[in-house]
Amino acid sequence: MRRIYMDHSATTPVHPRVAAVVNRFMLSDYGNASSVHHFGKVAREALEDARSQVADLIGADSPSELLFTSGGTESDNLAIKGVAYARRDQGRHIITSAIEHQAVLHACDALEAEGFEITKVGVDGQGRLDPEAVRDAIRGDTILISIMLANNEVGTLQPIEEIAAIAKEYDVLVHTDAVQAVGQISVDVEALGVDLMSLSGHKMYGPKGVGALYVRRKTPLQPLQNGGHHERRLRPGTENVAGIAGMGEACLLAKEELAIRNQYLLRLRDRLIDGIMSEIPKVYLNGHPDHRLPNNVNVSIVGIEGESILLSLDMKGIAASSGSACTSGSLEASHCLLAMGLTHEVAHGSVRFTLGRDNRQEDVDEVIRELPAIVERLRAMSPLS
Amino acid sequence: MMTRGRSAPIIYLDNSATMRPLPEVVATVTETLQNDYANPSSLHEFGLSAERILTSTRNELAKFLGTESHKIFFTSGATEANNTILRGVAAAYSSRGRHIITTPIEHPSVLATCQYLETGGFEIDYLPVDDKGTIHPDDLSAKLRNDTILISIMAVNNEVGTIQPITEVALRLDALGSRRPFFHTDAVQAIGKIPVDLSRITIDGLSLSGHKFGAPKGVGIMFLNSPAALPPLLYGGGQEDGMRSGTENTSGIAGIGAAVNWLQQNQRAANEKMYQLRQYLGETLESEIPNCHVNGPPADAPIETVAPHILNVSFPTIPGEILVHSLAESSIYVSTGTACSSKAETTSRVLSAMGLAPELARSSIRVSFSYETSAHDIDALIDALNSTVPHLRRMTRYQQ
Ligand SMILES: Cc1ncc(COP(=O)(O)O)c(C=O)c1O
Ligand SMILES: Cc1ncc(COP(=O)(O)O)c(C=O)c1O
């Protein structure tokens, strides 16, 4: 069976160039970057090259503004808890949104249990935040605003630039979870004006288990962990040289092909959206029609469970998801879709197709061919319809 | 032994800093990166296949360590495992007490975390070590208090290879009944080098790091005997039973599985070989080079008292770094003390705690073996030291 992978927001295939780099740093340049000898030097250079490659992709002033972590989750936790602890003397109020990834939401919950106060700003029916609502939430003791750049479920892009400009007026730091955005759309930390930004390697054709946190110079940050002198003591632990070099290569690749990748995916995305909307009755596109990741298609198919559709698709060799991979193990409706005001029933019928550079037009056409029949069959069986 | 270009063959003897992943591991990691790239949390067949890698590695590892798979959690390394456990115990048990006992020879990821906890009102007590780097259970008994909540003692020291009496400590703690503090051991330098069997004694928490036993960097293991008792360090999607959120590093974890597989078949023979090389190296140096001292367990220490892969040796009057650089010119790579602190510190904290004279501490190097190290490699090191040491000593004498 030909397999079609359309779950790129859960994770992406590793690009062969990335795999080759990872392989090299396991097989021959395997040194510990802290060692003083030749092997250490080669490893250290690889780290610094990768740091420059990441910095270059996101327009950071200096590579020294990037810390390597174990992934998006750690970057989010480090940014939020790190700033909260470092600025706790100035205040204990943090603003976030209702549709953040669990890494942000649960890090905030943990801080709430320790006496911080969290305000979750809501979103509109298309998953967009109103910057003025953020302004209204700011208080004298607000120390941090954490709003994602692109949502992982519906792909809605947030007006981070405007939010950061508002935050600046009040001297509040801004973190953005850009895990889904980097490598998909052009992201520039200077243009955005954010102080901290989370990235994850495996969402951009790099390896799993490696991520980065952009920390603008002079941003106060307390480490989550103590240990050796690695990463300016802000993130101790022997550096995952192979993974980091792989992430650097993935950034280089993104930089090289971002413009074409973007256009290519947009074309596939719109073809898929148009196909689904015209072939299937009673479906809604979730998220924003324009402020949207170029690879995201999220639709609610009224009257059936997203999970049933996924299983049927899977039997046809098509990999998609309902909601985010992290929560797809649970049968709860997506917190993101509910925050957008969808009813439980509509939220339960959502399916997400996230495209990648390895998808072809024929893949899209196959989904458009298979999905209507699946929907018709499931609707005929469903007690809900 | 490998060759780089046309120059002298490279002899890498800094395996306690990091080890080259085993060939089987590299093959598995590469294969997983290319084919099993899906997110293990995904419901589709791709995802299920990735999840099977996690399950089978967890099961293999549990069997290898003599425990159950639900007590094993994958992390990004031992630093994260140490931090999660130490900070977690401090947070979860602080109502019972605020007294922590550790040793002065722990890795910085334990020591610095203890110092951090100290700033939060915890009291840290350090057990003394003898001239071999060993703690004594009687000293532990003497320091135990009603409000002791945590004991953290490494299984094998990373600079001198001393094995700590972990079993005896565990047995003494058992006698305390319900007052028993949480017992953590950093077993990073023990796994794959000495038997680690969790079925015979009660250890509450244990930390491991992949790249020290033939698996890749960036993946580690945390064992918890009562998993639900501690809060996690990283919050998010709830992976690893909620103890460690974040998309799992599937290829790294698959690499752990391949390393464990290899160890199950080869560990005993590989350890015996390393032990013999250690003894041969120590005894030859002490007999051939005047004023040369093996630090910590002696060259002829019985196999059950020393990790087979580490020999720490001093050549007084020659600063360790100078010798390290000089050997590197012959493409032989060793280190002074730990990689993690080699930039920050000039003399080893571990050797000082053992009461070594400053001159011995200053002139020490650490030679650490891998499963690939051969007698030829050791002979090349001995030859290089035989010619370098007298030469450097003449030079340092002129300087003085
Ligand atoms: C928006 C967002 N943030 C954070 C994460 C967490 O990243 P990682 O899985 O690399 O820890 C993800 C993906 O799971 C994500 O989609
Ligand atoms: C004894 C010991 N504990 C902990 C660590 C930390 O491991 P990692 O750097 O992989 O986090 C190391 C090695 O650096 C070590 O030797």
In this prediction, residue A322 carries a pLDDT of 85
B76:A324 CB<8 A? no
Of the residues B242, B260, B278, the one at which a domain ends: B260
- What CATH number has the domain bearing residue A301? 3.90.1150.10
Please enumerate in sequence order all residues whose Cβ is within 8 A of that of B360, keeping only pairs 6 or more positions apart, or say none.
B293, B295, B314, B316, B351
A70:B82 CB<8 A? no
Of the residues A203, A232, A253, the one at which a domain ends: A253
Question: A170 with A50, same domain?
Answer: yes
Do B14 and B2 touch, CB atoms closer than 8 A?
no
In this prediction, residue A328 carries a pLDDT of 45
Residue ranges of chain A whose pLDDT lies below 50: 325-328
Number of compact structural domains in chain A = 2
Helices (H) and strands (E) in chain A, counts: 13, 12
Q: Is the CB of A278 under 6 A from ligand 2?
A: no
Question: A356 with A304, same domain?
Answer: yes
Of the residues A231, A253, A275, the one at which a domain ends: A253
- Ligand 2 centroid to Cα of residue A296, in Å, is 40
Of the residues A229, A253, A277, the one at which a domain ends: A253
Mutate to test the interface with B, among A4, A24, A26 (most CBs of B within 10 A): A26
A243:B217 CB<8 A? yes
- What CATH number has the domain bearing residue A144? 3.40.640.10
Chain B residues inside the 8 Å CB shell of A242: 216-218
Tell me, yes or no, if the pTM score tops 0.90.
yes
Number of compact structural domains in chain B = 2
In this prediction, residue A40 carries a pLDDT of 94
In this prediction, residue B347 carries a pLDDT of 79
Please enumerate in sequence order all residues whose Cβ is within 8 A of that of A268, keeping only pairs 6 or more positions apart, or say none.
A295, A355, A359, A361, A364
Q: Measure the CA–CA gap between B198 and B195, rounded to whole angstroms.
A: 10
In this prediction, residue A113 carries a pLDDT of 97
* Distance separating the N- and C-terminal Cα atoms of chain B: 37
Question: B28 with B144, same domain?
Answer: yes
In this prediction, residue B345 carries a pLDDT of 56
Q: For residue B338, what pLDDT band results from cuts at 50, 70 and 90? A: low
CA distance A312 to chain B (A): 10
- What CATH number has the domain bearing residue B316? 3.90.1150.10
- Identity of the residue in A36, A74, A314 whose CB atom sits nearest the CB atom of B45: A314
In this prediction, residue A1 carries a pLDDT of 79
Question: A192 with A321, same domain?
Answer: no
Q: Is the CB of B162 under 6 A from ligand 2?
A: no
In this prediction, residue B87 carries a pLDDT of 98
Averaged pLDDT for residues B243-263: 98
**Between residues 89 and 118 of chain B, which touch chain A (CB distance below 8 Å)?**
107-109, 112-113, 115-116
Question: B50 with B14, same domain?
Answer: no
Residue type, A211: G
Q: Is the CB of B209 under 6 A from ligand 2?
A: yes
In this prediction, residue B165 carries a pLDDT of 97
Question: B378 with B234, same domain?
Answer: no
Question: A342 with A220, same domain?
Answer: no
Mutate to test the interface with B, among A225, A232, A307, A358 (most CBs of B within 10 A): A225
DSSP string, A53-99: HHHHHHT-S-GGGEEEESSHHHHHHHHHHHHHHHTTTT--EEEEETT
Tokens of B284: 């030859």
- What CATH number has the domain bearing residue B91? 3.40.640.10
CA distance B202 to chain A (A): 26
In this prediction, residue B61 carries a pLDDT of 98
Range of the domain at B117: 23-260
Residue of B nearest to A313 (CA): B44
- Altogether, the residues listed in chain A come to a count of 385
In this prediction, residue B399 carries a pLDDT of 57
> Tens digit of pLDDT for each residue in B118-170?
999 999 999 999 999 999 999 999 999 999 999 999 999 999 999 999 999 99
- Identity of the residue in A11, A240, A327 whose CB atom sits nearest the CB atom of B37: A11
Question: A263 with A147, same domain?
Answer: no
Tokens of B288: 């051939």
Chain B residues inside the 8 Å CB shell of A76: 236
Question: B228 with B295, same domain?
Answer: no
Range of the domain at A300: 4-11+258-381
Question: B77 with B17, same domain?
Answer: no
Question: B249 with B291, same domain?
Answer: no
Question: A277 with A356, same domain?
Answer: yes
In this prediction, residue B7 carries a pLDDT of 63
Residue of B nearest to A231 (CA): B340
Strand partners, A4: A318
Do A7 and A317 touch, CB atoms closer than 8 A?
no
Averaged pLDDT for residues B222-242: 95
Question: A76 with A204, same domain?
Answer: yes
Question: B10 with B35, same domain?
Answer: no
Q: Is the CB of B17 under 6 A from ligand 2?
A: no
> With 60 as the cut, is the pLDDT of residue B343 above it?
no
Question: B117 with B241, same domain?
Answer: yes
- Ligand 1 centroid to Cα of residue A207, in Å, is 13
- Ligand 2 centroid to Cα of residue B78, in Å, is 5
Averaged pLDDT for residues B357-365: 94
A243:B324 CB<8 A? no
- Whether B326 and chain A come into contact, CB under 8 Å, resolves to no
CA distance A82 to chain B (A): 12
Averaged pLDDT for residues B246-273: 98
Do B149 and B96 touch, CB atoms closer than 8 A?
yes
Average pLDDT value over all residues in chain B? 94
Please state the φ and ψ torsions of residue B110, each to the nearest 5 degrees.
-90, -50
Question: A161 with A224, same domain?
Answer: yes
Question: A310 with A215, same domain?
Answer: no
Of the residues B260, B277, B292, the one at which a domain ends: B260
Q: For residue B228, what pLDDT band results from cuts at 50, 70 and 90? A: confident
Chain B residues inside the 8 Å CB shell of A35: 14, 17-18, 333, 335, 339, 342
Q: Measure the CA–CA gap between A204 and A251, rounded to whole angstroms.
A: 8
Name the percent of chain B lying above pLDDT 70: 95
Question: B223 with B86, same domain?
Answer: yes
Question: B243 with B338, same domain?
Answer: no
CA distance A169 to chain B (A): 31
Do B153 and B127 touch, CB atoms closer than 8 A?
yes
Question: A169 with A97, same domain?
Answer: yes
> Tens digit of pLDDT for each residue in A254-292?
999 999 999 999 999 999 999 999 999 999 999 999 999
Of the residues B206, B233, B260, the one at which a domain ends: B260
Question: B243 with B331, same domain?
Answer: no
Q: What share of chain A is helix, strand, coil (3-state, %, to 5)?
A: 45, 15, 40
Question: A57 with A182, same domain?
Answer: yes
Question: A269 with A238, same domain?
Answer: no
Question: B12 with B46, same domain?
Answer: no
A102:B44 CB<8 A? no
